[in-house]
Structure 1
Amino acid sequence: MSRLDEPDIDEKRVDVPDTDDVLAERRQSGRWLSRLLIGGSLAAVAAVVAVVVALMWPASGTAGAGPTQDSADAGFARDMAIHHQQAVELSFIVRDHTSSEDVRRLAYDVINTQANQRGMLLGWLDAWNLPKSSQEPSMSWMHHDMGGMHGMESMEGMDYKPHDGSLMPGMATNTQMDQLRKAGSKQEDILYLRLLTAHHKGGVAMSQAAAEMAKTEQVRRLAQGMVDSQEAEMKLMADMLNLRAA
């Protein structure tokens, strides 16, 4: 993606008054992570949440207690943990450089929420006594049990070819990540909103599949929650881009 020359826009005219309403619930649910996130300690956040989740989940040695290695539950947990990690990285870049308060609030909420969810996903894998990585291609779990799905057979992720660091649909390439790091403030905001919108679209499609295919209620519930919250954020970002004439 090439950098676009955008007209100068008065920052006072691009404030989004409804941002707090859209994000308030997500900010409240992740507020306990604030101090860790301010320091950028994503690994520490994931570790803390993973331990809590593992302690709450039934022991995986119990018959039928946990999903199997090739299940949709485990595949979704592994892939979405990777997907979330990049969204957090994108948001840290912008949070530390943007001069726009509404973009900074959005970036902070993405960091807060997705680091929390990533910790839950990794914690579940620990509780199921399953590895956090797999030799199978990303999203290969979506090929299983397609009979009960609603039109997901032709989904983009089914034949996605990883390239330039983009491992799954919606993920930014290494080139795009470098462009974001080098962009000026206004261009950075617009590029971030576009990259995050594409990222969310890929995440929503994967979450919709997991909400239908997963056998574990907790996984289905989290996946549907991701669909709802990320669709709301995509609408918010569309408004923010329109205000920036982008």
Structure 2
Amino acid sequence: MSTEADLAPEPEAPPERPGWSRWVIIGAALLAVLLIGATIGMFLTRLADGADDTATPKAGSVEVGFAQDMSTHHLQAVTMANWARDHSTDPEIRQLAFDIQSTQLEQVGRMKGWLMMWGQPEQAIGAYMKWMTEPMGHGHGGSGPMPMQPANGAPMPGMASDAEMAKMQTLTGKALDVDFLQLMLRHHQGGTDMAQYALDHSQLPAVKALANSMLTSQGAEMNQMTLLLKARGAEPLPAP
């Protein structure tokens, strides 16, 4: 004999979430990180500078040049990390890529926040790294300024060329993981001199603090990537 519960209709399954909704959520999260970074950047700079207009960095200064060029440098790392996170099947690579993407996107937001508050364009006009006018004592023996044009034709040291980016996007499996690690390790190495120069020459505490944070976090990631490459039987690319 059937009971009332037996005759009740089966509850309907919830509708399947469309595939594109995942990307909408991820995109919204990334935008939120960028906006948070911009807000933090503006707040910290206002806190450090107060209301003194003479403390506002001008075009061509270390502070403006660093924010413009490092943002461009970082955004390529974010692009590479996003690709590796979405296409690698290795949990270690995916976690590393997520960490790099999250950290550098927040830092880009912070630097763009500074530029907005300083009334400066997000992109440098003319050649990159013109703000680095003093001889470098870090990694170049103090004999002269760091090279402005990398051998691979990329805009700044450590950055991947268009051909290298295109090649990475054709790879899968271990080949993709190794290529990503090699490109990202070189990318971090290339950004080190910019961060060190900003730390040594900027007059703004907020800029010096961010540069120091980059050196610390990327130094740890470079050590990690070197070990990950060794575990996969691969070597780093030549330093930029």
Q: Shorter-chain TM-score: which interval?
A: 0.7 to 0.9
Match of 1:93 in 2: 83
Q: Superposed, which structure 2 residues align to 1:70-85 within 5 Å? A: 70-85=60-75
Summarize the Cα distance change of 1:198–1:173 in structure 2 as closer, same or farther, 3 Å threshold. Answer: same
Say whether residues 1:53 and 2:38 are aligned partners.
Answer: no
3-state SS, counterpart of residue 109 of structure 2: helix
Structure with the bigger RCO (C-alpha within 8 Å, sep 6+) is 1
Summarize the Cα distance change of 1:162–1:109 in structure 2 as closer, same or farther, 3 Å threshold. Answer: same
3-state SS, counterpart of residue 182 of structure 1: coil
Match of 1:178 in 2: 166
3-state SS, counterpart of residue 87 of structure 2: coil
Deviations, residues 189-244 of structure 1 (Å, cap 9, x unaligned): 00000000000001111111111011111111111111121111111111101110
Counterpart amino acid of 2:183? L
CA RMSD of aligned residues (A): 2.6
Q: Superposed, which structure 2 residues align to 1:144-223 within 5 Å? A: 146=134, 151-157=141-147, 159-160=148-149, 166-223=154-211
Counterpart amino acid of 1:240? L
What's the TM-score once normalised by structure 2's chain length? 0.78
Match of 1:106 in 2: 96
Match of 2:113 in 1: 123
Structure 1 position 46, deviation (Å):
2.4
Counterpart amino acid of 1:133? Q
Summarize the Cα distance change of 1:148–1:162 in structure 2 as closer, same or farther, 3 Å threshold. Answer: closer
8 Å contact from structure 1 (residues 94, 192) kept in 2: yes
Deviations, residues 111-148 of structure 1 (Å, cap 9, x unaligned): 100000010011111121222122231011001xx279
Distance 1:196 1:72 in 2: 25
Counterpart amino acid of 2:65? G
Deviations, residues 62-108 of structure 1 (Å, cap 9, x unaligned): 33231111110110000000000000000001100111000000000
Summarize the Cα distance change of 1:93–1:113 in structure 2 as closer, same or farther, 3 Å threshold. Answer: same
8 Å contact from structure 1 (residues 149, 212) kept in 2: no
Match of 2:217 in 1: 229
What's the TM-score once normalised by structure 1's chain length? 0.76
Question: Structure 2: where are the runs of 5+ without partners?
Answer: 1-22, 235-240
Distance 1:73 1:152 in 2: 21
Summarize the Cα distance change of 1:225–1:51 in structure 2 as closer, same or farther, 3 Å threshold. Answer: closer
Summarize the Cα distance change of 1:240–1:212 in structure 2 as closer, same or farther, 3 Å threshold. Answer: same
Distance 2:119 2:88 in 1: 41
Match of 1:16 in 2: none
Larger radius of gyration: 2
Higher mean C-alpha displacement, 55-64 vs 191-200: 55-64
8 Å contact from structure 1 (residues 190, 241) kept in 2: yes
Distance 2:135 2:185 in 1: 29
Distance 1:40 1:90 in 2: 19
8 Å contact from structure 1 (residues 138, 167) kept in 2: yes
8 Å contact from structure 1 (residues 60, 66) kept in 2: no
Distance 1:180 1:54 in 2: 36
3-state SS, counterpart of residue 117 of structure 1: helix
3-state SS, counterpart of residue 54 of structure 2: coil
| Percentage of matched positions with identical amino acids | 34
Summarize the Cα distance change of 1:191–1:149 in structure 2 as closer, same or farther, 3 Å threshold. Answer: closer
3-state SS, counterpart of residue 169 of structure 2: helix
8 Å contact from structure 1 (residues 170, 200) kept in 2: yes
Question: Structure 1: where are the runs of 5+ without partners?
Answer: 1-34
